[in-house]
Every structure is written in structure tokens, then in C-alpha cells.
């Protein structure tokens, strides 16, 4: 079984990671503003790239399971048993 593949899920997870980081950053800014403190000094561009690469890697490791799940659904087999249990010879 292939353990790494780049596909749709890879890019979706990368976008989700970037959006999650940006939402967290904005919440930290809002918290600092509400307390009249200085805002966070993150290098946002750097962290966007890092989270995108990390999300791409995580999504690429999950992509083969996603593909196998699609095959199982198409064959009408139980999803969890088909994806996670090895086939009997």
C-alpha cells in the first residue's frame, strides 16, 4: 500500500492549516486589543508558508486512506473495515 500521495486532500488540508493559523493570529490580535496591550509580532508570511507545507505533508499522508475509502464506498463495503483491516488471502 502506498503511504504518501499528493491529491485533492493534500491541498485542502494545507488551506485548512493556513486558515486555522490566520484565525488564531487574529484572535490573539483581538485579545491584545481588548486588553490595550501590544499585538503579536509574528512574521505572518513565514508562518503561512510553514503551515501550508505542514498541511500539505499531513494531507499527503492522509490521501491514500482517502482514496481507499472512495474505492470502498464505490464497492459498497463497510468503510472502516475496508480501509483499516488488511484483506484476507
Q: How do residues 12-31 score in pLDDT, each as one tens digit?
A: 999 999 999 999 999 999 99
Give residue 76's domain range. 8-84
Contact 28, 40 (CB under 8 A): yes
Q: 13 exposed, middle or buried (CB, 10 Å; 0-12, 13-18, 19+)?
A: buried
Task: State CA 19 to chain mean position distance.
Answer: 10
Lowest mean pLDDT among 18-22, 37-41, 45-49, 84-88: 84-88
Is the residue at 1 inside a domain? no
Cell of 16: 485548512
- Rounded Cα–Cα distance for residues 88 and 81 (Å): 12
The pLDDT of residue 88: 58
Find the mean pLDDT for residues 70-84.
86
pLDDT higher than threshold 90 for residue 86: no
The domain total for the chain is 1
Is the residue at 2 inside a domain? no
pLDDT higher than threshold 90 for residue 48: yes
- Rounded Cα–Cα distance for residues 89 and 80 (Å): 19
Is the residue at 53 inside a domain? yes
Is the residue at 89 inside a domain? no
Amino acid at each position: 500500500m502506498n503511504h504518501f500521495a499528493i491529491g485533492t486532500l493534500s491541498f485542502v488540508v494545507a488551506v485548512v492549516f493556513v486558515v486555522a493559523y490566520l484565525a488564531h493570529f487574529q484572535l490573539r490580535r483581538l485579545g491584545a486589543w481588548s486588553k490595550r496591550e501590544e499585538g503579536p509580532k509574528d512574521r505572518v508570511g513565514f508562518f503561512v508558508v510553514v503551515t501550508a507545507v505542514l498541511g500539505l505533508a499531513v494531507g499527503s499522508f492522509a490521501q491514500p486512506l482517502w482514496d481507499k475509502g472512495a474505492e470502498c464506498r464505490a464497492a459498497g463495503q463497510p468503510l472502516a473495515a475496508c480501509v483499516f483491516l488488511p484483506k484476507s488471502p
